[in-house]
A and B are shown apart, each in its own frame.
Chain A
Amino acid sequence: MQSFEYANPTTVQEAVGLLGAKWGQADVLAGGTDLLSLMKEHLHTPKRVVNIKNIKELEGIQKTADGLRIGALVTMDELSKNSDVVAGYKLLADAAAGIPSPQIRHMGTAGGDLCQRPRCWYYRQGLGLLAMKDGKSLIPDGENRYHSIFGDGPAYFVSASSLGPALVALGAKVKLVSAKGPREVPVAKFFVTPKDEASREIALQPNEILTEIIVPAATVRSATYEMRQKEALDWPLATASVALTMNGNTVTSAKIVLGHVAPTPYESAQAEAALKGKTITAATAEAAGKAAVQNAKPLSQNAYKVTLAKVAVKRALLEAAKAKG
């Protein structure tokens, strides 16, 4: 790990003043479950580390008339157990609870989950976010069993965040604050597919802190279904977060967002269209799953993930249909 200056601000105002204008100057430290490994591997070599864990205003979950405000420092553990989240936003509680190992759930924060870097092993082995060699990505001809099944590159990593798809399905926004003030960005726009090595996979700017997640009030039936091979410490191979607005037993509108299958959470308009006006049955859920992967373009080793994504959608829908609104 490269030596760095360590800053311990207690207000957001103070913290944003310590950030840099360019990536590489400063890094925000929340739970550190990702940042520490990035620094040990020399993938991030910030000159200054800004610890935000002493900033009280970033803590807590508040229920308001408009919905929920989730502070950036709320841990996965809190999120998975908070009664308001469990009662009204089951897909989000499911997603937080699915993150493996009590240690990570207790240390990892909601803000950190959204801002964590991809786990693509080419990136983590120091071969770059897009793993380009001689102008071409190494991934299509390489070891791509865990990579994306949607899109045409040049990014083939998958978005690592489990909360991302759930928050996109809920139409949530994030609040980003810089020295110039706050802005709000829909989570669906927060995740971006980088086009070159210098870009990032999130809309956060180097001088900004993600301070809170704003989830609109909603009456939905929802669930997140994750495909994980192991019970122990493991990443999902594919997930589906679904939120259904119902009229009786009929779906009036559906949000269906896949995780771990593309460089961003992947919202499937096809699957959403397939469900509109339908009741959820094994057959309609299956059809929605098929629709969700209609545009999949698997790589040489990951056609199996198309099946997993399809089944994740089906199973999430069947679970959501059982769940209370």
Chain B
Amino acid sequence: MANTPDYSYPPMDKRKVIGQRYKRLDGPMKSSGRAKYSSDLKPPDMLFGAYLHSPYAHAKVTSIDTSDVEKMPGVKAVYVAAPAGTEVNWQGYEIAGVAATTEEIAREAARMIKIEYEVMPHLVKDDDLALAGTRAKQGGERVVGDPDKAFQDADAVSEGQYGIPVVYHCCLEPHGQIIQWKPGTDPDNKSDQIHVWPSTQNVPDYAGSLSQNLKVPATNIKVRMDYIGGGFGSKFTPDAWAIVGANLSKKAGGRPVKLYLDRAPELMIAGNRPSAYAKIKLGGKKDGTITAWQTESWGSGGFQPVNPPAQPYTYANVPNIREVRTTVSLNGGSQRAWRAPGNQQASYLTCCAIEDFAAKIGMDPIEVFKANAQYAARTGAPDTYRYQLDKAAELAEWKKLWHPRGQSGSGTIKRGMGVAIGSWNGNGHRSQCRTVINPDGSVSVEIGSQDLGTGTRTIITQVAAESLGLQMGQVKLVIGNNDLPPDGGSGGSTTVGGVSTSTRKAAINALMKLYEACAPALGAQPEDLEAVDGHIRVKGSPNKSLTWQAACRKLGATSISEMGAHTGQAIPGLVTGGAAGVQIADLSVDTETGIVKMNRYVAVHDCGMVINPRLAESQVYGAVIMGISTALYEERIMDQQTGKTLNPDMEFYKLAGIGDIGNIIVHMDIREENDKRGVIGLGEPPAVPICAAVGNAVANALGVRVPRIPMTPAHVLDTLEGRTA
């Protein structure tokens, strides 16, 4: 039986590269503007694409005539995606694309397409269930235990209403790609070839999805992406724009076509986070233990039904539950995964309801969250939550600054503190890595992943360098195209677990081969060797060693090329799932204006073994900034009279700027017991609790619950002045 190498990581105190705070490798490229995003590229002969989108939320295309436009000078191809008879169910729906020699001609041509619609009735509002009529579909009732009896027996019952609206991903680089579909005219190679430079979270699976649509074999589709300007869950598939772009390219005789969404369609059709609204009733004991939970919730993720998330969130093992969920089908663009899909909404509903219960029984919410940590479903999680609640409270100076709800002094500016929790799985995805060690000592690591901006490049390099006993600069990394060993899409916080495991295995496998090649020279058996500080040496006899270069020369003329694979199953010590987080918002509300200002925000998160604390913290900072923006400002606004989206822009779709964020304190919960679980993803968990923590802090400041996110002057003053929000 071949020896299975030991892939386990060295103990925390023995690591040289893993655990170090390296700056991200692509930082200088990005900050100097040298990094080329796909939308920056301009292959020779490139044409510009433009779209015609539906101006209506619900309509049928009755006729479309592109003949005039096809004759316009500069227009090279027109492709109709929604022929006569197509029913469109949201504004912005892709009707047709035009490719032309300039952007201006393409846009003008798209506008000139002759099209007629039969306008149909629409629904675009989701906050009032009464308006939804037959567009609302109620799911069955879910009952756990005996909620009626539990409410009867409860020492106290609290009730509240909560709402969190549809928000956008707002990727800075919009959705789209440059794509070239070359007909197979070469007598030796008759099959069509496609080259695509997309903005995608999923380089490895992109060709497979495209081939199904275009009927070109996936082997003939070359996908390449070096940098991406944000995805947040909305960029997994090639989408309509790739199909339209490809067809335009084909019609234009194989010239590459650049087709990216403008900002308005980017917001309207390229994904959003579903809304969730709920009435929640909680019953429990005076000591803070919750015994009964009742939820009536509804929400919408666009035209296709999407249920609001189950309640209670994370503390799922509350013994008595009644829940009815309703989904509303709207004439609006479809939802897509949004950085921990379902979880912000779930956390907002649950954590606000828990804070309202804490206020009802006059208890400190930190204590109430601790009293109910037992209900966290994952093994080990209750202890983690208790620890992190205390840690977050300490960092936020909770004991000093928190006050019972509404007891925030007599001034017009009221300070408030709010706490919330989150959870996420983050298990590593399937991944394959190839490690090549060359006789000259150079090392390359090849993996068909992408760096979503999360630091994937840096952490793969760290794992490889650590595993080979080398420094960061000695490992060359290749990612970002589909000729490389297949990896998974960067979603679900699964990337770091996947790539770290396959990289670790490939590097160790390659090292085993190197040990075999240099064992004779060291007069030792391969299994007695170790790679440390750029040397291959005999364990226990550090002076019996070869430098890395000398060791590699023993390979003669043949490079080592070894694979490492991760199947997606958790491997204790290497990779697993299940992370917790606790966050506290500290803010001030001007009670005369309803304007909320962030003072300080504390985020405490665990993610198993942390490969690079700086990059881990970066994920948390980014998520908290994005979350504060949603908590205070962001909201899709649609007009029921016309079906139009009124703020598909960055002016009235309000985003926070750096001056709006306050001071963020990130604490990575790096403890031996977390470390030994293995690597867990972190992209999503810190994005979860923010709306809840902010909402709770506002309630704490004002002494009354402002039900709806975002915490705008309108919502705050409407609550304070007794108007129904």
Contact = CB atoms under 8 A, between A and B. Distances in A.
A232 B656 contact: yes
A127 B717 contact: no
Contact of B642 (A133, A231, A308): A133
A121 B633 contact: no
A233 B714 contact: no
Contacts of B658: 232
Contacts of B714: 145, 301-302, 304
Contact of B654 (A42, A119, A229, A307): A229
Contacts of A2: 108
A304 B718 contact: yes
B642 A138 contact: yes
A125 B644 contact: yes
A307 B652 contact: no
A170 interface: no
Interface string B617-633: 00000000000000011
B593 interface: yes
A227 interface: yes
Interface string A277-321: 000000000000000000000000111100110010000000000
B189 interface: no
Q: In the complex, which of the residues A229, A232, A233, A303 has the most CB atoms of chain B within 10 Å of its own CB atom? A: A229
A230 B656 contact: yes
B633 A303 contact: no
Interface of A: prevailing SS: loop
Given A127-B644, A138-B639, A231 B718 contact: no
A302 B718 CA distance: 9
A318 to B, nearest CB: 12
Interface residues of B, number: 38
A1 interface: yes
A231 B660 contact: yes
A304 B721 contact: yes
B593 A234 contact: no
Nearest to B644: A125
A2 B111 CA distance: 10
A179 B496 CA distance: 69
Interface string A226-255: 010111111101000000000000000000
Nearest to B719: A304
B655 interface: yes
B214 interface: no
Contact of A232 (B108, B641, B660): B660
A308 B593 contact: yes
A142 interface: yes
Contact of A1 (B104, B592, B644, B654): B104
A23 interface: no
A301 B639 CA distance: 13
B183 interface: no
B7 to A, nearest CB: 47
Interface in B293-330: none
A121 B593 contact: no
A229 B713 contact: yes
Contacts of A138: 639, 641-642
Given A119-B651, A143-B646, A227 B713 contact: yes
A142 B641 contact: yes
A232 B657 contact: yes
A303 B642 contact: no
Given A121-B647, A127-B642, A231 B713 contact: no
Nearest to A119: B651
Contacts of B723: 303-304
B712 interface: yes
B662 to A, nearest CB: 11
A133 B645 CA distance: 17
B654 A304 contact: no
Contact of B641 (A133, A235, A301, A302): A133
A235 B652 CA distance: 9
B651 A233 contact: yes
Interface in B12-59: none
Contact of A304 (B111, B594, B645, B656): B594
Contacts of A5: none
A184 B282 CA distance: 67
Contacts of B652: 119, 121, 146
Interface in A29-44: 42
Interface in B636-688: 637-642, 644-647, 649-652, 654-660
B721 A307 contact: yes
A152 interface: no
A308 to B, nearest CB: 6
A308 B712 CA distance: 12
A66 interface: no
A125 B91 CA distance: 12
A232 B655 contact: yes
B595 interface: yes
A229 B595 contact: yes
Contacts of A133: 641-642
A307 B593 CA distance: 7
A310 B637 CA distance: 26
B654 A230 contact: yes
Contact of A121 (B107, B594, B646, B657): B646
Contacts of A143: 637-639, 646
Contacts of B593: 227, 307-308, 311
Interface string A106-131: 00000000000001011011010000
Given A122-B646, A235-B651, 4 more contacts: A3-B108, A125-B644, A133-B642, A232-B655
Interface of B: 104, 107-108, 111, 592-595, 632-633, 637-642, 644-647, 649-652, 654-660, 712-714, 717-718, 721, 723
24 contacts: A3-B108, A119-B651, A121-B652, A125-B644, A127-B644, A133-B641, A133-B642, A141-B641, A143-B638, A227-B593, A227-B713, A229-B595, A229-B633, A230-B632, A231-B660, A232-B657, A235-B651, A302-B714, A303-B717, A303-B718, A304-B717, A308-B594, A308-B713, A311-B593
